[in-house]
Amino acid sequence: MLKILFIPDIVGKIGRNAVRQELPKLRKKYQPDVVILNAENSAHGIGATQKIIDELKELKIDVFTSGNHIWDKGGSDEMLDNPENRLIRPANYPSKKAGVGVLQLNIGEIKLNVVNLQGRVFHDWNKEDSEHLHDPFKTLEKIIASDRQGLYFVDFHADATSEKAALATYFDGQVQAVCGTHTHIQTADDRILARGTAFITDAGSVMYADSIIGAAKEQVWNLFFKIGQTSKKHDLPATGKAVFNAIYLELDVKERKAKKIERINKIIEVK
């Protein structure tokens, strides 16, 4: 049995501090073979930096996934092109973009392919220029065709619940887990599909509890009411109460099926 702990979108310093505080407890409880963490909002709620990735690497994270914001900070190309970071970006972005979208881990004799994909609904859906996102379904088909022996964990970073469910059910039995990310709110639909793929529409986030999807409330109010500078960033505290979401998975290596998916959803006091 391969045990995986997945920590979705961590937002800002309080998210990083929460992971540093809680991960040792989760390691002790679940004894995961692999820890995967989505770091695309780890730098003040948008993007990531090399300094922050170095900080998170000290926690012995095996792979960092990301999403559409991973290029939002300076130095992102160098960060993504550095294999020592074990940081991937959505595989269906054009190949001219820095980084790769798949990372294979060798856990003893087990090969686990960690795949990052970006949804297209509500995001770059009809653009025909060079930045157009490739079809995530066709992208994943090509990735699977390149290695039919390994196991697959997919972080599908997407807005639409229907797109996430469509991809998971289409590839049911071909990949072992599809965990949606991006909306920051954990859904209560965790389940194992008919052919053995573990799926949840959105794994959630690690973020300041008194916020709106990890952003300062005032920032979001201004966005909806169009008051003042709608893009202004508001500092969030590094300590206090935080939402801590994660997903624990158990994969049967011989049967190539998921046997367990468990949601972790709690409010913690970050010190």
pLDDT digits (tens, 9 = 90+) for 24-59: 999 999 999 999 999 999 998 889 999 999 999 999
Q: Which of 44, 69, 134, 182 is catalytic?
A: 69
Copy the structure tokens of residue 103.
């990372």
Tell me the range of 131-135, 151-155, 231-235 where mean pLDDT is highest. Answer: 151-155
| C-alpha to C-alpha distance for 159 and 201, rounded to whole angstroms | 10
Distances (CA, A) of 75 to 48, 69, 72, 93, 220: 9, 13, 9, 18, 28
Residue pointed to by tokens 């954990």 = 186
pLDDT at 139 over 60: yes
Q: Is the pLDDT of residue 254 over 80?
A: yes
Whether the pLDDT of residue 97 is over 50: the answer is yes
Q: End-to-end alpha-carbon separation of the chain, Å?
A: 35
Task: Name the nearest CA neighbour of 116 among 130, 96, 133.
Answer: 133
- 105/127: higher pLDDT: 105
Residue 145 bridge partners (DSSP): none
Write down the CATH superfamily of domain 2-270.
Answer: Metallo-dependent phosphatases (3.60.21.10)
pLDDT confidence band for 122 (50 / 70 / 90): confident
Tell me the pTM: 0.94
Read off the DSSP letter of residue 231: T
* For range 165-169, the mean pLDDT: 98
- The three-class DSSP label of residue 157 is strand
Tens digit of pLDDT for each residue in 180-233?
999 999 999 999 999 999 999 999 999 999 999 988 888 888 878 876 555 555
What does pLDDT average to over the chain? 93
Rg for the chain (alpha carbons), in Å? 18
Residue 69 bears catalytic tag: yes
State both tokens at 72.
Answer: 């939002």
